[in-house]
């Protein structure tokens, strides 16, 4: 190529060349010598072919004449045209379409026999056709199948029978014929094929092997890059697909749960109907204990509107059946009712301590009863809310769930201050806050977790600050009484059972309790908190203390007079039941042996490990570091609690129902210990008195439910005479979600 480079240098392709006619340059001939020095470009032919006689002759002829002369053409073997039978062979006409022909590649692969009958076959066909009908196409298909099925070895007759669904005689004759023909055949197959390469490379030089596969891709940089990119794309695609699968899986689960819920609700209504509970009396009775526990306020605000919608729907239904009881009275019952309906107990039994895998999308979708029609009031016992509130109590601040968070039930309702529909978003909620170690009312504040797990309190000024200061100087009873005052509006003894743990605290300050206390604390901050892993821990540690707490708890409970719909007695009995259940659960954990006597009618109505776990987790969702950080102060403050007043201060002081924008208030002082206890119970409950293994569906339900903020608190209608107990058991679990 040195020639070329010389040429290229000499002859600049980018330089304009003037174009002359020869006649304009009479003196051009002088320059010819120079021109001759320029070497010729390669022709692109193989040299020895280039020298072939005819080509040279043709080239020189062209050089001379500038035009091809007839006799200077390169001779080629002649082709004949005019086959006489052409028209007979290619029958029919083909009309040219107006449009350019566009072919569908897919349509090309028609299943057609590759084998074409020859005259020999035709003879056979004629012979066979004397006895039976055999169409040429049919024959070809048969042979084609036989050919394609046989590799080196011929298909056997039995195989052929399987292969061809033909009459036996026909098959036999064709098969025999085929075998004979194939043996005589020169080629490897009756259908002539281009010789294929063999993998061992032995055919590398075989001239008859053609169209070998390109084992190696063209190696260009570009391609390689391309591969990489497409590989990554594939990976991404895969990831997205699996995510889709997960989501669909969850949706499936959710829908199942929904159905379950519906069934249960139905069932309950039916039961009530059978029982003639038109006034809702029984329901209320039964559900009261449930409400007792709810005392416990969760940091999470539920979307109250959502929660109550069901209520209202129910109410409407009821209205059809019964005359509606007075509003105020009805309230608690309704709420309980709702609980019962929303939480299908048996489900809960069965739920495992499931890892909450529900993702955000799922959660949102699960929000099935959170659609528009929110005529329900803020279902509290507080003064009837304004219509506004009823429609959309949370306004723009309607709670929205966040992925990865577990939400506990809110302590919404009893807020009298909860007038403004415009609450700040959750994380911005300020609650009345009190430090427990140096007991001190901080005022409005909200808690955040800072770097390294530090707890940060944001304070805000409010009109209460003065009062709070005073409070600081007050004694606990004062607090309590205030709390009572506040809670007295509540239908049930919301916060009642907070005491036991605290009291037990004094004896055995166990980790669990401490943790619980902290949880309490944090809950008042109305913050959603991420799921934590302290459940197991809780379970293990709290068990022992529970016993004690129960014992101790009683007195305190007894003193705890509850206003609202519940009598103290009821409450007590409930407490007892609770404790007993816990006991049973404890024992069951170990052995799974007895069905609890209490949980009589259907084990399915009692707690199951999963639900318990769930409940526990709902309560215990404070970041661990937070616990440890606050443990000690808390504990110390807890000491010296006595039946009514003393124990509470700690808790009750945490947040006051008074005017705090967020309904953490619901917890009245004395009752705030309940959550603790309950949470313990919840933690323990995995070892419920239920021998029966959880069913998966219920597990799922629990999972989903757990991930919801407004937990469907449906408990099955209890038809029996003993519903209370069951409900109590239930309520334990459900309560964590419940806010009174």
Partner 1 sequence: MTKMADNFSAVDIVEGCRLPVLRKNQEHEDEWPLAEILSVKEVSGRKLFYVHYIDFNKRLDEWVTVDRLDLKKLQFPKKEAKTPTKNGLPGSRPSSPEREVVRKSLDLNIPPATAPSRGKTLPTPKRKVEPPAPLAPQVSPATPVPSLPSSAEASQASVFPAVRETNTTFKAREEHEPISSLTTQQNGTARRLIPAPPGRKRKANCGGADEMIKVLQYNKPQSASVFLPPPPEDSQDSSDGIPTAPRMTGSLVSDRSHDDIITRMKNIECIELGRHRLKPWYFSPYPQELTTLPILYLCEFCLKYLKSLKCLQRHLTKCNLRHPPGNEIYRKGTISFFEIDGRKNKNYSQNLCLLAKCFLDHKTLYYDTDPFLFYVMTEYDSKGFHIVGYFSKEKESTEDYNVACILTLPPYQRRGYGKLLIEFSYELSKVEGKTGTPEKPLSDLGLLSYRSYWSQTILEILMDLKPDNGERPQITINEISEITSVKKEDVISTLQYLNLINYYKGQYILTLSEEIVDGHERAMQKRHLRIDPKCLHFTPKDWSKRGKW
Q: Do the beta carbons of residue 71 and residue 54 sit within 8 Å?
A: no
Contact between 237 and partner 1 by CB under 8 A: the answer reads no
Contact between 428 and partner 1 by CB under 8 A: the answer reads no
**Minimal distance, residue 119 CB to partner 1, in Å:** 5
Task: Show contacts with partner 1 in window 595-614 (CB under 8 A).
Answer: none
Site string for partner 1, 156-195 (x = CB under 8 A): -----------------------------xxx----xxxx
- Comparing CB distances to partner 1, the nearer of 215 and 721 is 215
Task: Show contacts with partner 1 in window 190-219 (CB under 8 A).
Answer: 192-195, 201-219
Contact between 40 and partner 1 by CB under 8 A: the answer reads yes
Question: Got the DSSP string for 503-541?
Answer: HHHHH---HHHHHHHHHHHHHHTT--EE--S-HHHHHHH
Beta-bridge mates of residue 458: 446
Under 8 Å CB-to-CB from 479, ≥6 apart: which residues? 471, 648, 649, 652, 653, 656, 669
**Minimal distance, residue 237 CB to partner 1, in Å:** 15
Q: Kind of pairing, strands 529-530 and 405-406?
A: antiparallel
Contact between 591 and partner 1 by CB under 8 A: the answer reads no
Contact between 26 and partner 1 by CB under 8 A: the answer reads no
Select the span of 89-97, 551-559, 637-645, 668-676 touching partner 1 (CB under 8 A): 89-97
Contact between 23 and partner 1 by CB under 8 A: the answer reads yes
Select the span of 15-23, 380-388, 418-426, 528-536 touching partner 1 (CB under 8 A): 15-23
Contact between 222 and partner 1 by CB under 8 A: the answer reads yes
Per-residue H/E/C for 367-406: CCCCCCCCCCCCCCCCCCCCHHHHHCCCHHHCCCCCCCEE
- Comparing CB distances to partner 1, the nearer of 79 and 590 is 79
Task: Show contacts with partner 1 in window 114-143 (CB under 8 A).
Answer: 116-119, 122, 136-137, 140
Contact between 28 and partner 1 by CB under 8 A: the answer reads yes
- Comparing CB distances to partner 1, the nearer of 143 and 295 is 143
Could you tell me how many residues of this chain bind partner 1 (CB under 8 A)? 117
Q: Do the beta carbons of residue 527 and residue 706 sit within 8 Å?
A: no
**Minimal distance, residue 310 CB to partner 1, in Å:** 55
Distance CA 708, CA 400 (A): 10
Contact between 151 and partner 1 by CB under 8 A: the answer reads no
Question: Got the DSSP string for 601-619?
Answer: S-GGGS--HHHHHHHHHHH
Contact between 7 and partner 1 by CB under 8 A: the answer reads yes
Contact between 111 and partner 1 by CB under 8 A: the answer reads no
Contact between 86 and partner 1 by CB under 8 A: the answer reads yes
Contact between 96 and partner 1 by CB under 8 A: the answer reads yes
Contact between 75 and partner 1 by CB under 8 A: the answer reads yes
Contact between 235 and partner 1 by CB under 8 A: the answer reads no
Q: φ, ψ for residue 578 (rounded to 5)?
A: -55, -55
Contact between 45 and partner 1 by CB under 8 A: the answer reads yes
Contact between 234 and partner 1 by CB under 8 A: the answer reads no
Contact between 320 and partner 1 by CB under 8 A: the answer reads no
Distances 66 to 26, 28, 572 between C-alpha atoms, Å: 22, 20, 122
Contact between 113 and partner 1 by CB under 8 A: the answer reads yes
Q: Which residues of 522-545 are buried (b: 16+ CB within 10 A; e: fewer)?
A: bbbbbbbbebbebbebbbebbbeb
Closest CA relative to residue 708, chosen from 353, 336, 254: 254
Select the span of 7-15, 388-396, 418-426, 467-475 touching partner 1 (CB under 8 A): 7-15
Q: Do the beta carbons of residue 348 and residue 616 sit within 8 Å?
A: no
Structure tokens at 639: 């000491």
Residue from 6, 42, 263, 594 in contact with partner 1 (CB under 8 A): 42
Contact between 152 and partner 1 by CB under 8 A: the answer reads no
Distances 668 to 140, 630, 652 between C-alpha atoms, Å: 92, 21, 6
- Comparing CB distances to partner 1, the nearer of 209 and 551 is 209
Closest CA relative to residue 139, chosen from 164, 168, 109: 164
Distance CA 177, CA 143 (A): 10
CA angle 192, 195, 196 (to 5 degrees): 125
**Minimal distance, residue 150 CB to partner 1, in Å:** 17
Residue from 6, 60, 69, 74 in contact with partner 1 (CB under 8 A): 74
- Comparing CB distances to partner 1, the nearer of 88 and 451 is 88
Q: Do the beta carbons of residue 627 and residue 514 sit within 8 Å?
A: yes
Contact between 80 and partner 1 by CB under 8 A: the answer reads yes
Select the span of 53-61, 521-529, 535-543, 681-689 touching partner 1 (CB under 8 A): 53-61
């Amino acid at each position: 190529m040195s020639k070329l480079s010389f040429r290229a240098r000499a002859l600049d392709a980018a330089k304009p060349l003037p174009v002359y006619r020869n006649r304009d340059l009479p003196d051009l001939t002088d320059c010819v010598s120079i021109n001759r020095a320029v070497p010729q470009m390669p022709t692109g032919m193989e040299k020895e072919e280039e020298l072939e006689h005819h080509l040279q002759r043709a080239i020189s002829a062209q050089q001379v004449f500038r035009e091809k002369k007839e006799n200077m053409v390169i001779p080629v073997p002649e082709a004949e045209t005019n086959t006489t039978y052409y028209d007979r062979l290619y029958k029919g006409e083909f009309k040219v379409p107006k449009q350019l022909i566009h072919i569908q590649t897919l349509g090309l692969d028609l299943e057609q026999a590759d084998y074409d009958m020859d005259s020999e076959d035709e003879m056979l066909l004629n012979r066979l056709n004397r006895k039976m009908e055999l169409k040429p196409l049919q024959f070809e298909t048969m042979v084609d199948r036989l050919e394609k099925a046989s590799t080196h070895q011929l298909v056997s007759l039995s195989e052929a029978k399987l292969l061809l669904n033909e009459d036996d005689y026909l098959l036999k004759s064709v098969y025999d014929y085929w075998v004979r023909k194939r043996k005589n055949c020169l080629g490897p197959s009756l259908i002539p094929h281009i010789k294929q390469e063999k993998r061992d490379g032995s055919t590398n030089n075989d001239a008859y092997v053609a169209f070998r596969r390109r084992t190696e891709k063209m190696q260009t940089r570009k391609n390689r890059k391309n591969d990489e990119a497409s590989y990554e794309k594939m990976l991404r695609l895969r990831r997205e697909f699996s995510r889709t699968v997960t989501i669909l899986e969850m949706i499936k689960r959710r829908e199942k749960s929904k159905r379950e819920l519906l069934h249960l609700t139905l069932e309950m209504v039916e039961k009530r109907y059978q029982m003639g509970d038109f006034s809702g009396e029984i329901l209320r009775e039964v559900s009261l204990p449930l409400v007792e526990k709810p005392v416990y306020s969760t940091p999470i605000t539920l979307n109250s509107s959502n929660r109550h919608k069901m209520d209202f729907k129910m109410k409407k239904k009821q209205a059809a059946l019964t005359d509606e009881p007075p509003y105020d009275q009805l309230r608690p019952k309704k709420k309980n009712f709702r609980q019962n309906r929303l939480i299908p107990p048996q489900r809960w039994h069965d739920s495992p301590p499931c890892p909450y895998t529900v993702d955000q999308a799922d959660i949102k979708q699960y929000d099935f009863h959170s659609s528009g029609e929110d005529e329900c009031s803020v279902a509290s016992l507080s003064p009837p809310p304004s219509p506004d509130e009823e429609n959309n109590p949370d306004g723009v601040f309607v709670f929205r769930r966040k992925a990865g968070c577990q939400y506990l039930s809110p302590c919404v309702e009893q807020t009298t201050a909860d007038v403004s529909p415009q609450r700040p978003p959750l994380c911005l909620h300020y609650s009345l806050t009190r430090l427990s170690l140096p007991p001190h009312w901080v005022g409005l504040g909200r808690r955040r977790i800072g770097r390294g797990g530090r707890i940060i309190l944001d304070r805000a000024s409010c009109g209460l600050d003065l009062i709070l200061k005073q409070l600081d100087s007050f004694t606990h009873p004062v607090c309590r009484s205030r709390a009572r005052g506040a809670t007295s509006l509540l239908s049930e003894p919301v916060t009642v059972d907070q005491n036991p743990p605290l009291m037990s605290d004094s004896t055995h300050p166990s980790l669990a309790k401490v943790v619980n206390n902290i949880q309490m604390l944090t809950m008042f901050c109305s913050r959603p908190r991420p799921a934590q892993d302290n459940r197991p821990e809780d379970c293990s540690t709290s068990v022992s203390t529970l016993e004690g707490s129960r014992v101790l708890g009683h007195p305190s409970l007894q003193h705890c007079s509850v206003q609202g719909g519940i009598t103290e007695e009821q409450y007590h009995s409930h407490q007892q039941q609770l404790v007993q259940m816990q006991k049973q659960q404890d024992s069951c954990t170990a052995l799974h042996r007895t069905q609890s006597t209490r949980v009589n009618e259907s084990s399915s109505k009692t707690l199951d490990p999963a639900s318990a776990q769930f409940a526990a987790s709902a309560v215990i969702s404070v970041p661990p570091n937070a616990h440890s950080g606050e443990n000690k102060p808390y504990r110390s403050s807890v000491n010296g609690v006595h039946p009514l007043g003393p124990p509470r201060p700690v808790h009750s002081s945490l947040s006051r129902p008074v005017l705090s924008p967020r309904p953490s208030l619901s917890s009245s002082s004395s009752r705030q210990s309940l959550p603790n206890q309950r949470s313990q119970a919840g933690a323990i409950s995995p070892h419920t008195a239920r021998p029966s293994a959880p069913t998966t569906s219920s597990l799922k339900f629990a999972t989903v439910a757990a991930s919801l903020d407004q937990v469907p608190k449906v408990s099955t209608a209890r038809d029996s005479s003993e519903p209370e107990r069951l409900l109590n058991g239930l309520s334990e679990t459900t309560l964590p979600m419940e806010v009174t």
